[in-house]
Structure 1
C-alpha cells in the first residue's frame, strides 16, 4: 500500500484542470467557444477574484490542444484525452477536472472509466448547459449569475480535492460514477442523472495503490499504447434502432455492416430488449458473430436495461448477441470502443466483456 506520506503528497498537489470546449467556454453573439489562450486566463482571473476563491482548492492547467464542440468528438479524440491523462498520471499527477460539452459528456466519461480501470486516478468530468460568461456584457468578461457553469465547476473542484479514485461526472449539484450517467434533458440545468449502484469498472478503482502496483499498471498501459493509437481510426461502433418494421428491414441494415472490419454494434431493442424475429435476421446475427462483430442489445428505455424474461427478446441470445444488462447506451458504446482499441481479436474482446460481466455480478462494493 502507498505510504501515508506519499498519499498525502499526492492529495496536496494542485488539481489539474483541462478545458476541452463546449457550452461552458462559449461567449458572444452568436455563441461560440473562446480560444484556450483567451478563455483560460479569463477563467484563472475569475477563479482568483471570486468570493469563493478562499474555499476552492489550488489548480493548475493541463495543456490540451483539442478544443471543439463535443458533438464533433470521434474515437480518435477519445484516445487523445486518454493519452493526455495517462501521461499526466504517469508523471505523478492524480486529480483532474475535465470541462467538456454536454452532448457526449456521458460517452467520454464512461470511456475514461473503462480506460483507467484498476488505477487510483481521480477524474471529474463536468460541463454546463449555459455558458460561464455573460454575453449580455460584451465589454468585459463576467460570470453569468444565471448560469450553471460556476456551480458545476466549483462542485467538481471540491469533489476532485477529496481525491477518491475513479471517474465521476459532476453536474447539477450531484455526482455519479461515470458509467451510470446519461443525459435526460436537452436544455434543463438538471440535464443528467445516474446512480451509485455501479459495478465494473467503478469497483476496480483502488484508493491507495502501492507504488509498485501502480507502475505495473502504467507499464501495461504503455505496452499497448502504440497498437491502440494505430487502431483508433478503424474502431467504430454502430447503432441499429428497432422500429415497428418488418424484422427483415433490421436484417438488411445489419447486412450492410458485414463487409466492414469487425466493429461494435448496439442493437436498440424495445422495452427489456425485445427485438422482432425473423429467420433471416437470426441468420444475419450469426453471420455477424462469425465475422468478428460484437452485437450488444440495449434498451430504448432510459432506465431498467435489458433482460431475457420475454421470448420476444431472449431468442437473440441464441445467435451470439450480448445482453447489455443495466448499462446505459453511453456505457455500452464506451466499453465496445475500449475493447476494439485495446484487444486485437474478436475472441479476446468477447472474453474481456464476459470478464466485466462476472466482475459486475460478483462484486458488491468498490475495491477499498
Structure 2
C-alpha cells in the first residue's frame, strides 16, 4: 500500500503566493531563428520582468515551481501529462492552492482538460496559459525586453489575476478571457484569439470544492496516493486513437478499426459527420462489437467545432447499438482527456465505462438544471 500524502494545515489563498510553472512553448522562445530558451536562462529574465511590474500592475506574490520537463507542446505524451499531474499534486499536498502553468498552444487544451479530470473533487486552482508570439523581443538582442506586439505579457498578467482569485477548478486563460478547461478548443492557428470556450461546464468543473475541510482534503489526497504509482506505470502504454470519417468506402474505416481490435484496451474517438453520423455497414458494426468485447472504449464525436453529437438521425443512432458512447457536447480535447484519465485511473474496461456513464449523467443533470 502506498504511503499517504500528508496535507499540512490549510493556508489562506489570498496570502499564499501563486506558484508558476514554465513548461516551454512559444511563450519562452527567443532569438533568430526562434528557439525555446532553457529554463535557467528564461526564468530569471521572466522573474526580473515580473518584479519590475509587480507593483505597477498590482500582481500577486509569485513563487516558482521547479519543472524539469520543458519541450514543444506538440511533443507531449501521456507520460508527460502525468508528470505535470504529479508535480502539481505534490505541491498541492504541501499546501499550495493556486498555480499557473505556461505551455505551448498545440496541446494546451488537451493538457488543461486532462488536469481538470485528474484534480476533480479538490479545491485546487490551476490556470493554464501560453501565447501565440514570444514574450521577449527578438529584435533586441542585447537585453531581454517584453515584445510589446506580443500577446504573451497580457496572457500572463490576466492569468495571474484569475489565479489570485483562487476560485477552485482548472481554467484556461487566453486572449483576455478564461473558461473551464474542459470546454476549450483551439480555433485559429495563428490569431491572438486562438481559443474559445464557454461557461456551461458540467463535470468535472462542477465537482470542485469551494471550501474544503482539512479532513476531506486529506481523504482526497489519500485516494490519489493509493493510485499514483499505477497511474505512472500505465502512462507509457496508454493510447487514445482517432478515426476520422471521410466520404470513403466504409471498408476503409472498418479496416482502421479492425487494426486496433487486438491491441491492449484503448480509447478510440470516432469523428463522425455533423451530429455524429457514421456510415453503416455490417462489417463496421461487427468491428464495433468486437472492439467492445476486447475492452476498447469507442466515443463518437463530431467533426464540427460546436454542437456536439446526438442520436436524432438514423445515420448516427445505429452505432449506439454496438456499444459506442456518445461524446455529447464535449470537445475532442475533452474526450481525449477523459479517455486518457480513465485508462490511467481504472484497471478494467468495465470500471472505465461505468465511470464515463457517471460523468455523462453529471453533465446531463447540470445542463438540465440550467
* TM-score computed with the length of structure 2 as normaliser: 0.96
Aligned to 1:28: 31
Instruction: Identify the residue that residue 180 of structure 2 maps to in structure 1.
Output: 177
- Alpha-carbon contact 1:47-1:53 (below 8 Å) kept: no
Equivalent position of 1:202 in the other structure: 205
* Cα displacement (A) at 1:363: 2.8
The Cα shift of 1:246 comes to 1.1
**What is the CA deviation profile of residues 321-348 of structure 1, one whole-angstrom value per residue up to 9, with x for unaligned ones?**
0000000000000000000000000000
| 1:229 corresponds to 2:232 | yes
Q: Deviation of residue 253 (structure 1)?
A: 0.3
Q: Does 1:153 align with 2:156?
A: yes
The answer for the alignment partner of 1:218 in structure 2 is 221
Instruction: Give the aligned partner of residue 254 of structure 1.
Output: 257
Give the drift of 1:184: 0.1
Alignment match of 1:60 (pick from 56, 63, 77): 63
Q: Summarize the Cα distance change of 1:53–1:39 in structure 2 as closer, same or farther, 3 Å threshold.
A: farther
Tell me: CA distance 1:7–1:212, structure 2 relative to 1, closer, same or farther (3 Å): closer
Give the corresponding residue for 1:136: 139
Aligned to 2:310: 307
CA deviation profile, 1:82-115 (whole Å, cap 9, x unmatched): 0000000000000000000000000000000000
Cα distance in 1, alignment partners of residues 361 and 318 from structure 2: 22
What's the counterpart of residue 49 of structure 1? Answer: 52
Q: What is the DSSP-based 3-state SS (H/G/I as helix, E as strand, rest coil) of the residue aligned with 1:98?
A: strand
Show the counterpart of 2:6.
none
Q: Is the 8 A contact 2:250 2:281 kept in 1?
A: yes
Q: TM-score, length-normalised on structure 1?
A: 0.96
Report the CA distance between 1:50 and its aligned residue: 2.7
Q: CA deviation at 1:364?
A: 5.2
Partner of 2:4: none
Q: Who is 1:3 aligned against?
A: none
Give 1:48 deviation, angstroms: 1.1
Give the Cα–Cα distance (whole angstroms) in 2 for the partners of residues 356 and 169 of structure 1. Answer: 21
- Residue 328 of structure 1 corresponds to which residue in structure 2? 331
Aligned to 2:99, which of 96, 99, 104? 96
* Matched-pair contact (CA < 8 Å) for 2:11–2:95: no
Q: Does 1:127 align with 2:130?
A: yes
User: Does the 8 Å contact 2:10/2:95 carry over to 1?
Assistant: no
CA distance in 1, matches of 2:365, 2:248: 39
Which residue matches 1:264? Answer: 267
Structure 2 residue runs without a partner (length 5+): 1-8
Secondary structure of 1:167 counterpart: strand
Deviation at 1:10, TM superposition (A): 3.3
Q: How does 1:253-292 map to 2 (within 5 A)?
A: 253-292=256-295
Question: What root-mean-square deviation, in Å, do the aligned CA atoms of Structure 1 and Structure 2 show?
Answer: 1.3
Distance in 1 separating the partners of 2:277 and 2:256: 17
C-alpha distance in structure 1 between counterparts of 2:291 and 2:54, whole Å: 58
Deviation per residue, 1:54-98 (Å, 9 max, x gap): 510000000000000000000000000000000000000000000
Q: Deviations over 1:271-322 (max 9, x none)?
A: 0000000000000000000000000000000000000000000000000000
Distance in 1, Cα, partners of 2:153 & 2:78: 29
Deviation at 1:49, TM superposition (A): 1.3
CA distance in 2, matches of 1:23, 1:147: 11
Give distance in 2, aligned partners of 1:365 and 1:142. 50
Q: How far apart in 2 are the matches of 1:285 and 1:9? A: 51
Q: Which runs of 5+ in 1 are unaligned?
A: 1-5
